[in-house]
Amino acid sequence: MLKIQRSIKLINDCDALYDETELINAMLWYSKKPLISVKKVSMHGEYPAVSIGKEKIHIHRLLMMYRIKTELPKGYYVHHEDQNRLNNAKENLSLVYGTTHQSNHNKNKFISEYQKQKVIEFNQKRKGIKRGIIKKDISYQKIWGLYKNGYSINKISKILNYDWNSVKLRINEIHDNPELLNGGYGDD
């Protein structure tokens, strides 16, 4: 185990562009203990990375964390301005919010009607998306009866072919206003 930090030599196996002094300083800043004296910069997935301890970290993320002196904020990404993943020069990296980052990559791209339809179908199948139509003829009593018999909101939704969010909303309404079980809106 290393007790003192020796000078570090970087071996660039992937032709990545970066400021060597800044990358070494970033590695030392990020590391909890001294690093070995020879470090390889190699591809990890689609981006150049280095190993620090048992962790492989992409150098564009490491350099940005070093510049802001903290972990990357949630929802933010490091964007390569020239779209070249190997170019990690300071002026080529920027910290952008997720939606901005996505729009940067989607500029001038054509999406076919087929692709749009596939996205719509996928989004409709995602958990938490409202499915089916809201039926107003299902009573509070029916929903509450199933709920009291131990059925989950998901199961009630399937049994009644009723929107999950609407079942949950009605159960919450009954908790807040028990008089709804005595008549009123949604009765059969």
pLDDT tens by residue, 62-102: 999 999 999 988 888 898 988 899 999 999 999 888 777 77
170 burial level (CB within 10 Å; 0-12, 13-18, 19+): buried
pTM, whole model, 2 decimals? Answer: 0.56
pLDDT of the residue at 145: 92
User: In terms of domains, do 16 and 82 share one?
Assistant: yes
User: In terms of domains, do 101 and 20 share one?
Assistant: yes
- Rounded-to-integer distance, Cα 88 and Cα 138, Å: 59
pLDDT of the residue at 30: 93
pLDDT tens, 144-180? 999 999 999 999 988 988 888 888 888 888 888 888 8
Q: Which of 106, 137, 169 is the last residue of a domain?
A: 106
Q: Which residue has the tokens 């809106």?
A: 185
Q: Does residue 126 lie within any of the structural domains?
A: yes
pLDDT tens, 23-45? 999 999 999 888 888 999 999 99
Q: Which of 44, 74, 106 is the last residue of a domain?
A: 106
User: In terms of domains, do 35 and 72 share one?
Assistant: yes
CB 179 within 8 A of CB 169: no
Domain membership of residue 18 as a residue range: 9-106
Q: Which of 132, 154, 144, 141 is nearest to 182 (CA)?
A: 141
pLDDT greater at residue 133 or residue 46: 46
Q: Which of 57, 84, 106 is the last residue of a domain?
A: 106
Q: Does residue 150 lie within any of the structural domains?
A: yes
The total number of structural domains in the chain stands at: 2
Q: Does residue 3 lie within any of the structural domains?
A: no
Task: Write b or e for each residue in 61-99: b if 16 or more Cβ atoms lie within 10 A of its Cβ, otherwise e.
Answer: bbbbbbeeeeeeeeebbbbbeeeebbbbeeebbeeeeee
User: In terms of domains, do 77 and 53 share one?
Assistant: yes
Q: How many CB atoms lie within 10 A of CB 182?
A: 9
Q: Does residue 125 lie within any of the structural domains?
A: yes
Q: Which two tokens stand for residue 54?
A: 């048992």
